[in-house]
Amino acid sequence: MSNIRGKIIEIKRFAVHDGDGIRTTVFLKGCPLKCLWCHNPEGISFAPQLAYYENKCISCGECLGSCPAGAHRMGENGHIFDRALCAGCGKCEENCLGEALKHYGKDMSVDELLPMLLEDKEFYENSGGGVTLSGGECLMQAEFCKELLKKLKENRVNTAVDTCGFVKREAIDAVMPYTDIFLYDIKAFDEDVHIKCTGVSNKLILENLKYIDSCGKDIEVRIPYVPDFNSDQIEKIAELLASLKNITKVRVLPYHNYAGSKYASLDMKNTLPEKLPSAEEVKNAERILSEKNISVF
């Protein structure tokens, strides 16, 4: 039995981009970074949030009675959502006929989550997949992650932890014994570039990367490629990765701006850069990494 609880953004089944094979990815809420290009803005705050997609609302009024805080009402021109009154409980989401409401930050225990994750065990086994913990930054809820990963290992499920690395060493140590592979984000090598793009220094991130490597754990590195922001960092990142021993592969993730509507739905300031990378730029970044004998996915 494990009653330890976590704040969950979303559970994504049949994920194919969060590690090897077919996986279920559990996204946990809260992140210490504020990347300008973040495509999961619902993962930044630890507090529960309600996203409201105004363009999907059909003004059916079904949400009005389900909100204890009275955040939904009808006006002359249809439904009005008053975010200032919303406590983020999520009760209105299930009544919404237009699928205009989405709740992020569900409170779940390890025992509630585990059976859902084990449902697809056969798919994991047949595809070389498993379960990935992601976010936000999942290791901000390290005790929850540790308990969940431990249970997954007891059930012989492959496990991956997707982290930005800006976490205390104790958080990494807590999950290390139950993690098969770390998916590790490197956004910049130069500290000033990292601060400009994410709001924090990368010293701790690079130290933790070297630490995990020194422990002999497999690491898949992910590099978001964002023109004019971190695109001049690839050579330096390649140098660093070439000096490590346990990098299984590197993925260059071309920046995209699909998350614009998410920022609006959460009433958050949209910080997404305008410029998208060309296929040539991404190929060039991959070439720089390959030339250092780094396996590029």
Strands 181-185 and 159-163, sheet pairing: parallel
- State which amino acid sits at residue 26: V
How many chain residues touch ligand SF4 (CB under 6 A)? 28
Which listed residue (4, 89, 240, 244) binds ligand SF4 by CB under 6 A? 89
Give the one residue of 33, 67, 183, 250 binding ligand SF4; rule: CB under 6 A.
67
Among 28, 35, 71, 252, binds ligand SF4 (CB under 6 A): 71
- Beta carbon of residue 85, minimum distance to ligand SF4 (angstroms, whole number): 7
Does residue 7 touch ligand SF4 according to CB under 6 A? no
Q: Which of 4, 12, 46, 59 binds ligand SF4 (CB under 6 A)?
A: 59
Only segment of 29-37, 56-64, 124-132, 250-258 that touches ligand SF4 (CB under 6 A): 56-64
State which of residues 11, 36, 69, 176 lies at the interface with ligand SF4 (CB under 6 A): 69
For ligand SF4, the closer of residues 56 and 249 by Cβ is 56
Q: Which residues bind ligand SF4 (CB under 6 A)?
A: 50, 57-63, 66-67, 69, 71-72, 79, 86-92, 95-98, 100-101, 103
